[in-house]
Structure 1
């Protein structure tokens, strides 16, 4: 390549680096699209009860913040827009005590109260400014004929920009740590679990060589402060709190261990579950995990034996009853599933996810006599949990079976919009709108869905 041509290539290349930097920084506050949401009535009830005193201590209505479980094996939690805390399944698996989960929730709540997602631009703008300045200075150097000097300026600017943003991110994490400690103290909850969880993170850092001792520059490249520094600060704060030696409520801890085992049994390979929870273990978590492992491995009789042992130990536990109903339903025995599911729905005051499973069982019997009850429980589920695509799908099946095609199309449109099937949602909504009585609530809802679908399709078209 002729020497005179080299400076001209530097600016486009550096602009590409700038765009990559901005994209990388913006990803810090966005959940990964590949992560799927896990919905389970028992887990969501545990999350609500474990977090409620923390939210109240921070001045929030416990119902105002969503706790969302993601199918992701990494040990992580984050907030991303609105008032929602996302918790990875790997974090639940790594925790040994519900108090550790509460410590994580308190920390993430600190990000919400600090407005850290809203204030993301405060960290990004200075970093971008430094990078743009380095482009200008590098451009001048390139114009003067010094390609090497130009590249040096570009690279130094990118380094400074990243350092500026990461320092901002570390400051936010320290702020969330302090806020979380205050929320736990005000709620009368020990910070011991928070400390124990930080020790787990510190062990991971040592395992992967991220300690300051092994890498003096490690802290510069981190979004979070070094765990050792966080531990030192928080340990002193928590040990002075009157709740430091307060144990987790036994019932809450027992529920946490059940959920942890249930999640393991649901997500892990059945053989791994049976190794982790061998058949000589007869405690509740072990039976829970094995029931899911046997069910996944197509051994319904073994799965039912575990679920019935659980019910024998606690006949009014709605989640044990839900498990038995689910095994029966998915093993092709929907009529037998109805009784335990009915009881589970009654015991949980119509928990929407369990009610949806009952509606499914009633429809799966192919008995028209059960359809009226199915419609009732499914409509009740949707009133309490509109973001339930499977409930909408099942409701559409009921409407279609009784010849109400217009409302069946409307239910399909709701389900398709939630699951990202935008063109299908538009078609279903338009079909429902044309068939429903004009001016009725259902007709207006069909209009709303159609307009939302058109707007989404237009945004997608423009982005392409």
Structure 2
């Protein structure tokens, strides 16, 4: 997904590294963006994809919201109404794709003054602007619009099954209108859609992605649907996930190793084996396979995913000997520029540093946690304590000073 984002970002003159994808475990067919330049994609959407072209169209649409400044304009509009009750503003300000707000778990209260006709008309205009942006972006890359067309057809079918009681009160244009717009503006309408793509000699199979998602969502209904049209090449992978879902970790590992033997250059097989060993409590073997996955990514000249590096660090912490703890802390320190805004991440650093007896590092980690919790005075107290240690490393000294000078 990051590669798809980068392709559109280059063509639309957006800084390549500024937009990142995040997967949200949620059954609804939706995606949205917020002001932090993340595209949030629901697992329910990914599970219902029939081609990579659908995903390309969805990503282009969400980039459109960011490029056109829709999130910020919605934020400004909301500030103008000082009488708003708290209605889950984070979710609301995120420009959503599918037109359904049911997934906000009651945070949007229908009937409040905020949900007036003017607001929804404003949102519908932005959705049409994002649609136009996405089609133009696809045209620039000579990409087919059929994927986006197919996705909106699914939305249309879903809306027929679950019709809205008041059609006026919807933040999205009618799906039929969106389909007409796509067909009128699109230059490329190739029907040969892809369920498999290749990235630097890595095969990325859409069905395999869906199988892997079920391991996270535990959606056995979707898992059983996949079985009906299971590709021959995915049978071993499916079997491994099936054993995992049935809590037979040993059998799942056996199948995963069989899969890895078939494609020894594929780092994702090692990642999977590492995850299974971690779940099974064999942290040494987990760390071995995570390390092998990282090595394979490097050989392919692909930056290893951050989650694999983080998983390696966690397995090394669990091994809990001095050599492993030193290695894990180095990995975590390498990830600070990318993960500094995560409380969980700083908890890991604090725990790791504490196990090594690195008191100043653990104090700075606590200070970083307090900053993220907006407990600024407490953060400065812990940062000041860390600076009293003469053996504080430069990395932590600089962060402690930044915290003390934070206003």
TM beyond 0.5? yes
- 2:34 corresponds to which residue? 80
Separation (CA, whole Å) in 2 of partners of 1:228 and 1:322: 42
1:322 is displaced (CA, Å) by 0.9
- 2:253 corresponds to which residue? 304
SS of residue in 1 equivalent to 2:182: helix
1:314 is displaced (CA, Å) by 1.4
1:391 is displaced (CA, Å) by 4.8
1:199 matches 2:153: yes
- 2:103 corresponds to which residue? none
- 2:197 corresponds to which residue? 251
- For 1:258-269, what aligned pairs fall within 5 Å after superposition? 258-269=208-219
- 1:64 corresponds to which residue? 18
- 2:180 corresponds to which residue? 232
SS of residue in 2 equivalent to 1:306: helix
Q: Could you report, residue by residue, the CA deviation over 1:41-83 in whole angstroms, capped at 9, with x for unpaired residues?
A: xxxxxx1112222222212133121222222221111222143
- 2:283 corresponds to which residue? 334
1:407 is displaced (CA, Å) by 0.9
- 2:170 corresponds to which residue? 222
Separation (CA, whole Å) in 1 of partners of 2:149 and 2:81: 32
- For 1:439-454, what aligned pairs fall within 5 Å after superposition? 440-449=394-403
Q: Could you report, residue by residue, the CA deviation over 1:170-213 in whole angstroms, capped at 9, with x for unpaired residues?
A: 11111111111000110121111000000000001111124xxx
Mean Cα displacement is larger for which, 394-403 or 384-393? 384-393
Separation (CA, whole Å) in 2 of partners of 1:180 and 1:267: 29
Relative distance call for 1:86 and 1:382 in structure 2 (3 A) is same
- 2:301 corresponds to which residue? none
- 1:459 corresponds to which residue? none
Where do 5+ consecutive residues of structure 2 fail to align?
Answer: 84-111, 299-303
Where do 5+ consecutive residues of structure 1 fail to align?
Answer: 1-46, 130-157, 456-464
1:189 matches 2:143: yes
Q: 299, 305, 316: which one pairs with 1:351?
A: 305
1:413 is displaced (CA, Å) by 3.5
Alpha-carbon contact 1:70-1:87 (below 8 Å) kept: yes
SS of residue in 1 equivalent to 2:70: coil
SS of residue in 2 equivalent to 1:244: coil
Relative distance call for 1:277 and 1:179 in structure 2 (3 A) is closer
Q: 346, 349, 357: which one pairs with 1:395?
A: 349
- For 1:295-444, what aligned pairs fall within 5 Å after superposition? 295=244, 297-349=246-298, 350-387=304-341, 389-415=343-369, 417-418=371-372, 428-435=382-389, 440-444=394-398
Alpha-carbon contact 2:273-2:289 (below 8 Å) kept: yes
SS of residue in 2 equivalent to 1:224: coil
Separation (CA, whole Å) in 1 of partners of 2:46 and 2:118: 33
Alpha-carbon contact 2:70-2:126 (below 8 Å) kept: yes
Relative distance call for 1:243 and 1:195 in structure 2 (3 A) is closer
Mean Cα displacement is larger for which, 179-188 or 409-418? 409-418
Q: 156, 179, 183: which one pairs with 2:133?
A: 179
Q: What is the TM-score with the length of structure 1 in the denominator? A: 0.69
SS of residue in 1 equivalent to 2:127: helix
Separation (CA, whole Å) in 1 of partners of 2:337 and 2:144: 37
SS of residue in 1 equivalent to 2:357: coil
Separation (CA, whole Å) in 1 of partners of 2:195 and 2:227: 27
1:243 is displaced (CA, Å) by 5.5
Count of matched residue positions in the alignment of Structure 1 and Structure 2? 370
- 2:123 corresponds to which residue? 169
1:103 is displaced (CA, Å) by 0.8
Separation (CA, whole Å) in 2 of partners of 1:383 and 1:121: 27
Alpha-carbon contact 1:351-1:381 (below 8 Å) kept: no
Relative distance call for 1:399 and 1:68 in structure 2 (3 A) is same
Q: Could you report, residue by residue, the CA deviation over 1:299-346 in whole angstroms, capped at 9, with x for unpaired residues?
A: 111210231122122112112101111111221111222321111112
Q: Could you report, residue by residue, the CA deviation over 1:339-388 in whole angstroms, capped at 9, with x for unpaired residues?
A: 21111112223433212222222232233233333333333333554345
Alpha-carbon contact 2:211-2:241 (below 8 Å) kept: no
Mean Cα displacement is larger for which, 328-337 or 158-167? 158-167
Alpha-carbon contact 1:414-1:425 (below 8 Å) kept: yes
Mean Cα displacement is larger for which, 347-356 or 193-202? 347-356
Indicate the structure (1 or 2) with the bigger Cα radius of gyration: 1
